[in-house]
Structure 1
C-alpha cells in the first residue's frame, strides 16, 4: 500500500496511537507500547493518479472491511485477524476497522491474473509476456486466460512504486520454498474465489494478495494471509452478463466494480497539473453504488449506507 506523510490531524482513538497513514487506510498501535497488534482502519478516502481526492466516499471503508472479512471466512488459510484477547476496536471505527496480529511481511505482492487487462495487457503488447511468462499471440484486452498466471511484484520501500518481477526474482528475494508457497497459495485462493464469484454472476479478472508470518506462533514458517483480500480496491471484478454481451462496447463489457468512475471523470476534467478538482456529488454517489453492488452480489446481503 502506498503511504503518505502523517495526517495533520489523525483521528484520536482511545487505547491506540496513530503511527502512519496510507492513501486510504490508517494504522495504529496499542497505546500501552505493546507490539503484538495493529489497528487497521479503512478510511472513506479515495485516491486516483497518486492523489487523495476530495470529498471522500461515505461508507466506502465499511463496505471494503465487510467484504474483506467475508472472504477471510471462506479462505482455508490462516489470516492476520486477531483472536480472543486482542484489544477492542474503538466504537468510532467499529464498522471499518480490524485488529490484526503484527506479522513479518514477505516483500512480495502476489498478483494473480485470470484475464489480461490493465498494466498486464500493456506489458503483453510490448513484449508478448507478463512478468517473464510467455503468452500466446492474439490475446485482446480483457480476454480470459485458459489458466490463471502468477505475476508477482516487489513491494518497494515507502514512497516508491512497486516493481513487477519474474518468479525467478521472487525466489532470489525470499528463497525457493517461500516463493513456491506464495505462488501456490495465491493461485489456489484465486481459483476458489473466481469460481465462487462466477456462481454469483461476477467475473474475477485479477487480484493481489499479501502474506506474512507470525514469529510468535507455533510453526512460524506458515503463511498468514494479510492486508485486505479480494475487495474492490485490491481486485478487478466485472459483471458476467455484461462481459459476455459482445454487442456492447469493450469499455462497457470491462466496467469494473471499483473507483473507475472516479478515474474516468478525473481524466476528463483534470490535466494532472496542480491539485485535482473536487469530485461532484453524482460521482461520489455512483462510486459508492458500484462498491455496494459488488458487495451485495457476492455476499447476498444488503450494503449498509
Structure 2
C-alpha cells in the first residue's frame, strides 16, 4: 500500500455527485446505487487539514464494512445502505488504474434520501457535553443527574443530535425536539431508537475487545419507495467516534483516545483550532495513523494488510 496520503480522488470514469470533508460520492450506472469513496483527508473542528494520513481511507472503509455486518447481526430488522466493497462489476465501470486506487477505500451503497441531521449518541460525559454539563448540568439542553465527573459513564446512553452542515459550515448541537422539527414526527422517534440501538450494539461489541465507545454519530437515510429508514454513511470509525482503552480508563480525567483527539489536542495546544490551511507535522501524522491502525486491529482481530487480501 502506498505510503503517500490520497487526498484527492482522481476518478473520471464515473460522474462525481459530491465531495465532503473526507468522502467523494459517485453515481453508478444503474441509478439505484452509489460509489462511496473515502480519501485520506482528515478534518477537525469542521476544517480540512492541508495534508492527509496515508491508509486512513482504507481503515475507515473496512472498519465501517465490518460494523455494518456486526450491527446487522445484533439488531433485528436493521437496514443499512452497504451492498459491498468496491464498485461491483468493476471491470465494466472503471479502469484498471482506478480499480487499484479504489481498492479497500470504496463501497457500493444504496441511493437514499439522507436525513439532514447527525444522530449523535453519548454514553459518557466528555468533549462538548462535559463543557455544557459543568455549566448547567444539561447535555444538548437535556437535564442530567447531578454529580457526574469528567468522562464518567452516563446512567443510560442519550441521543444528542446536531445539524448536518454543508461543506465549510459548522454543525450545531440541537435538542431531540429540534431534530424532530427537521425530520418530522413520522421519522424522529425511529431515528432516535435506531441510533441508540446501534450505539448499544457497537459498544457491547467493542467492550468485548477491550475498547470503550464514549460517543459516536450515525446518519440515516430514507427509501422513499418503501418508507423504510436505513443506516448510512460511515459507522463507528475513529473519524466519527471517541474510542478509549478499557484497561486505561479512569473517571475524572481526559482519556487517551484511538481517534482524532490526537489532532484536536495538537491544534488546540498550538493555537490552530478552526484555522484554515494548517499542515500537520510528520510526527502528528504518524501518531494518528498508529492510533487508527491499532484500533482497527483490536476491533477486527486483523491487520490492515490481511484485511486487504482478496479485494
| TM-score bucket (shorter structure) | 0.7 to 0.9
Alignment correspondent of 2:248: 242
- Does the CA-based 8 Å contact 1:37-1:86 persist in structure 2? no
Counterpart-to-counterpart distance in 1, 2:68 and 2:120: 17
Counterpart-to-counterpart distance in 2, 1:148 and 1:140: 16
Question: How big is the shift at 1:171?
Answer: 2.4
Q: Which has the higher contact order (CA 8 A, sep 6+)?
A: 2
* Aligned pairs for 1:20-59 within 5 A: 20-30=18-28, 35-59=31-55
Where 1:67 maps in the other structure, the secondary structure is: helix
Where 1:99 maps in the other structure, the secondary structure is: strand
Structure 1 window deviating more from structure 2 (59-68 vs 96-105): it is 96-105
The TM-score normalised by the length of structure 1 is 0.85
* Aligned pairs for 1:280-295 within 5 A: 280-295=281-296
Counterpart-to-counterpart distance in 2, 1:204 and 1:66: 18
- Does the CA-based 8 Å contact 2:47-2:274 persist in structure 1? no
208, 212, 226: which one pairs with 2:217? 208
Unaligned runs of 5+ in 2: 1-6, 73-77
Question: How big is the shift at 1:40?
Answer: 1.5
Q: Is residue 62 of structure 1 aligned with residue 49 of structure 2? A: no
* Aligned pairs for 1:109-258 within 5 A: 109-216=118-225, 220-244=226-250, 250-251=253-254, 254-258=255-259
Over 3 Å counting, the alpha-carbon distance change for 1:130 and 1:96 in structure 2 is same
- Does the CA-based 8 Å contact 1:113-1:151 persist in structure 2? yes
- Does the CA-based 8 Å contact 1:60-1:291 persist in structure 2? yes
Alignment correspondent of 1:6: none
- Does the CA-based 8 Å contact 1:12-1:18 persist in structure 2? no
Where 1:38 maps in the other structure, the secondary structure is: strand
Deviation track 1:250-292 (CA, whole Å, cap 9, x = no partner) reads 23xx111112222222333344597555322222111111001
Deviation track 1:27-62 (CA, whole Å, cap 9, x = no partner) reads 2223x5x63222211111122344322431111110
Counterpart-to-counterpart distance in 1, 2:273 and 2:114: 34
Counterpart-to-counterpart distance in 1, 2:175 and 2:118: 12
Counterpart-to-counterpart distance in 1, 2:50 and 2:84: 35
- Does the CA-based 8 Å contact 2:140-2:175 persist in structure 1? yes
Over 3 Å counting, the alpha-carbon distance change for 1:166 and 1:293 in structure 2 is same
Question: How big is the shift at 1:299?
Answer: 0.9
Counterpart-to-counterpart distance in 1, 2:272 and 2:199: 36
Unaligned runs of 5+ in 1: 1-8
Structure 1 window deviating more from structure 2 (95-104 vs 167-176): it is 167-176
Question: How big is the shift at 1:175?
Answer: 2.6
Counterpart-to-counterpart distance in 2, 1:271 and 1:155: 23
Over 3 Å counting, the alpha-carbon distance change for 1:63 and 1:83 in structure 2 is closer
Structure 1 window deviating more from structure 2 (225-234 vs 70-79): it is 70-79
- Does the CA-based 8 Å contact 2:39-2:57 persist in structure 1? yes
Counterpart-to-counterpart distance in 2, 1:262 and 1:167: 29
